[in-house]
């Protein structure tokens, strides 16, 4: 059984060409990765299946449940192709977007998304190639948009297009996404990330298709999602601050404020929150990050994010292991700061009104009062553990569950070390098993106090109603 991580924040590492082998995935885990992201925008089904198989092999080697997140591409908008491969957009010139499949030139190009034409009106902005070029609509027709080039530049085939000013009536799940979703579920993905969420209905549609076979994470990368953030978070199991596209559609100076708002609201609702994109961007090419990047990662950890994510740094960069190790080192330094715990509690999570909420909140308070070394939670669905984690307890959380899928999902939850164990039939068995697992994982030693949280009757989801304090003697290591 692998020892728990020392830190509470989790590291989510994206896999790709630089980290596709079992050997490299093993190195990323040893360096500090707790969960692995598979970007469904890239690679073949065979390559993705291989990545998941490697993760499950590593899981058996380490004895630790490992988390797989499948990130769906979503309805990414792109322009068509050019006869010469690219053109130069001149500031102040007119440029037409239409539905003609003829290869484009310096005056026009195909926009193969009919929904865009119905949604846009005069004055709306179009951002091309991650915002490098900006167009403004001056004439709008059902199949043709005449724009003025506000910021020019080189535009090449199939570059991305963002529409920040309107809600585009696009389904959150494209036909490709539905195929990829079925693939991910069939291969045992633990989390499904939904891209370009605009409204809570997008989340509801994906949840219905998932049918409880995986947890659902909503990526916030559209300004329209910010307007209905609370509704989206209520429906999702977790949320990601996806600063790439969010930073294209919002002015860059507004992204930090949006990030703070998303993190704070997710914390208040008890939903895991991941901060992602360009966190250690320079480490794609360099073995060391910039000081600003280090500060960026540290800020997310001080704010109490559940996880921080590496994208191209671990997927396609020259220094994937070093990037994970650096993120791990930053987290260790932040969490060693005497001021860190107070900063994490800059805004207290508002506990719910249920018995389970009260018990979970009390467990953290009791652990602080009596000086317990850990909180052990018996859970079937993981809801008890998530309630304790939302309180940002001062001690590690030991998740004990007979359900492997539940244990695997804990890889994105703050402060949790998950262990799969046989179910318990009675209170005394629960106590003895909790003590034994705390000793085996190194979360406690003889003489330490342990806070137990569970529900009676056992194996019944939603019955969290017991909090109990026990002392470890060190003799509990025998047994099963």
| Catalytic residue chosen out of the listed positions 5, 8, 10, 37 | 37
Give the whole-angstrom CA distance, residue 235 versus residue 218.
Answer: 9
Instruction: Please tell me the predicted confidence (pLDDT) of residue 348.
Output: 60
Instruction: Please tell me the predicted confidence (pLDDT) of residue 196.
Output: 92
Instruction: Please tell me the predicted confidence (pLDDT) of residue 337.
Output: 96
- The dihedral region occupied by 196, where left means phi > 0, alpha psi between -120 and 50, and beta the remainder, is left
Instruction: Please tell me the predicted confidence (pLDDT) of residue 424.
Output: 81
Is 409 part of the annotated catalytic residue set? Answer: no
Give the whole-angstrom CA distance, residue 307 versus residue 267.
Answer: 12
| Catalytic residue chosen out of the listed positions 26, 56, 78, 132 | 78
DSSP secondary-structure letter at 143? T
Cβ atoms of 226 and 258 closer than 8 Å: yes
| Catalytic residue chosen out of the listed positions 14, 67, 147, 277 | 277
Q: Consecutive sets of 10 residues in the chain, 480 residues long: mean pLDDT of each?
A: 84 97 98 97 95 98 97 92 95 96 96 89 92 94 95 93 85 92 98 95 96 97 92 97 89 93 93 96 97 97 96 97 98 96 74 76 90 93 92 93 96 96 85 92 93 78 81 66
> CA Rg, the chain, in Å?
24
Q: Which of 132, 164, 136 lies closest to 150, judged by CA?
A: 136
- Beta-carbon contacts of 442 under 8 Å, excluding residues fewer than 6 positions away, are 3, 4
Q: Which of 296, 232, 297 lies closest to 262, judged by CA?
A: 232
Is 37 part of the annotated catalytic residue set? Answer: yes
Instruction: Please tell me the predicted confidence (pLDDT) of residue 479.
Output: 45
Instruction: Please tell me the predicted confidence (pLDDT) of residue 226.
Output: 94
- Helical (H) or strand (E) element with 366: helix 355-370
Instruction: Please tell me the predicted confidence (pLDDT) of residue 90.
Output: 95
Cβ atoms of 421 and 437 closer than 8 Å: yes
Task: Please state the length of the chain.
Answer: 480
Give the whole-angstrom CA distance, residue 385 versus residue 310.
Answer: 25
Instruction: Please tell me the predicted confidence (pLDDT) of residue 350.
Output: 57
Domains and CATH numbers, the chain: 10-75+171-340 (3.20.20.60), 77-162 (2.40.33.10), 355-471 (3.40.1380.20)
Crossing angle of helices 22-31 and 45-62, rounded to 10°: 50
| Catalytic residue chosen out of the listed positions 5, 7, 125, 219 | 219
Give the whole-angstrom CA distance, residue 213 versus residue 254.
Answer: 36
Give the whole-angstrom CA distance, residue 460 versus residue 463.
Answer: 6
């Amino acid at each position: 059984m692998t020892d728990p991580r020392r830190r509470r924040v989790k590291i989510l590492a994206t896999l790709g060409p630089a980290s596709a082998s079992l050997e490299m995935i093993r190195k990323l885990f040893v360096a500090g990765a707790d969960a692995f992201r598979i970007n469904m925008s890239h690679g073949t089904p065979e390559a993705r299946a291989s990545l998941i198989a490697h993760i499950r092999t590593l899981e058996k080697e380490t004895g630790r449940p490992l988390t797989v997140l499948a990130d769906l591409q979503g309805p990414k908008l792109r322009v068509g192709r050019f006869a010469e491969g690219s053109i130069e957009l001149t500031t102040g010139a007119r440029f037409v977007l239409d539905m003609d499949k003829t290869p484009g030139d310096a005056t026009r190009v195909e926009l193969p998304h009919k929904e865009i034409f119905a949604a846009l009106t005069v004055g709306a902005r179009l951002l091309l190639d991650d915002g490098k070029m900006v167009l403004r609509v001056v004439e709008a027709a059902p199949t043709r948009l005449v724009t003025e080039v506000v910021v020019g530049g080189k535009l090449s085939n199939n570059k991305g297009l963002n529409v920040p000013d309107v809600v585009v009536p696009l389904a959150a799940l494209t036909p490709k996404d539905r195929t990829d979703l079925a693939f991910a579920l069939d291969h045992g993905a633990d989390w499904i990330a939904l891209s370009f969420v605009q409204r809570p209905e997008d989340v509801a549609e994906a949840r219905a298709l998932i049918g409880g076979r995986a947890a659902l994470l909503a990526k916030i990368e559209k300004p329209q999602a910010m307007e209905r953030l609370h509704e989206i978070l209520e429906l999702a199991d977790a949320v990601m601050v996806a600063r790439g596209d969010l930073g294209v559609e919002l002015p860059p100076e507004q992204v930090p404020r949006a990030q703070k708002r998303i993190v704070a609201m997710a914390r208040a609702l008890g939903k895991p929150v991941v901060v992602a994109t360009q966190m250690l961007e320079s480490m794609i090419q360099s073995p060391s990050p910039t000081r600003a990047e280090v500060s960026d990662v540290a800020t997310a950890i001080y704010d109490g994010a559940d996880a921080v994510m590496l994208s191209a740094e671990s997927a396609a960069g020259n220094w994937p292991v070093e990037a994970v190790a650096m993120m791990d080192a930053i987290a260790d330094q932040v969490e060693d700061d005497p001021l860190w715990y107070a900063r994490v509690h800059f805004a207290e999570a508002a506990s719910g009104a249920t018995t389970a909420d009260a018990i979970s909140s009390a467990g953290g308070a009791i652990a602080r009062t009596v000086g317990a070394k850990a909180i052990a939670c018996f859970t079937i669905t993981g809801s008890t553990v998530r309630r304790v984690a939302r309180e940002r307890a001062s001690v590690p959380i030991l998740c004990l569950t007979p359900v492997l899928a539940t244990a695997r999902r804990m890889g994105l939850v703050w402060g949790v070390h998950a262990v799969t164990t046989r179910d318990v039939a009675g209170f005394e068995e629960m106590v003895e098993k909790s003590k034994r697992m705390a000793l085996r994982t190194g979360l406690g030693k003889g003489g330490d106090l342990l806070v137990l949280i569970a529900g009676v009757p056992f194996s019944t989801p939603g019955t969290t109603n017991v909090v109990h304090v026990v002392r470890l003697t060190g003799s509990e290591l025998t047994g099963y």
